[in-house]
Amino acid sequence: MGPRIRYGAVAVAAAALIGFAIYLQEVKGLEPCPLCILQRYAYVVVAAAALVAALLPPAAPPRSGPRVATRIAAWVGIVFAVAGAGVGVWHVWLQTHPPQFASCGPSLQYLVANLPLGRALPRIFQGYADCTEVTWRFLGLTIPAWSLLCLLGLAAVLWSAQRRR
Q: Report the alpha-carbon distance of residue 87 to residue 147 in Å, rounded.
A: 10
Which DSSP helix (H) or strand (E) runs through 9? helix 3-26
User: Full-prediction pTM beyond 0.85?
Assistant: no
Which parts of the chain have pLDDT scores under 50? 120-121, 124, 165
Residue 116 has a pLDDT of 61
Q: Are 137 and 40 in contact (CB under 8 A)?
A: no
Residue 124 has a pLDDT of 46
Residue 19 has a pLDDT of 87
Residue 118 has a pLDDT of 53
Residue 59 has a pLDDT of 58
Q: Are 76 and 87 in contact (CB under 8 A)?
A: no
pLDDT tens, position by position, 119-143: 544 554 555 556 666 676 668 778 7
Domains and CATH numbers, the chain: 3-163 (1.20.1550.10)
Q: Report the alpha-carbon distance of residue 42 to residue 66 in Å, rounded.
A: 24
Nearest to 129 by CA among 99, 147, 104, 148: 104
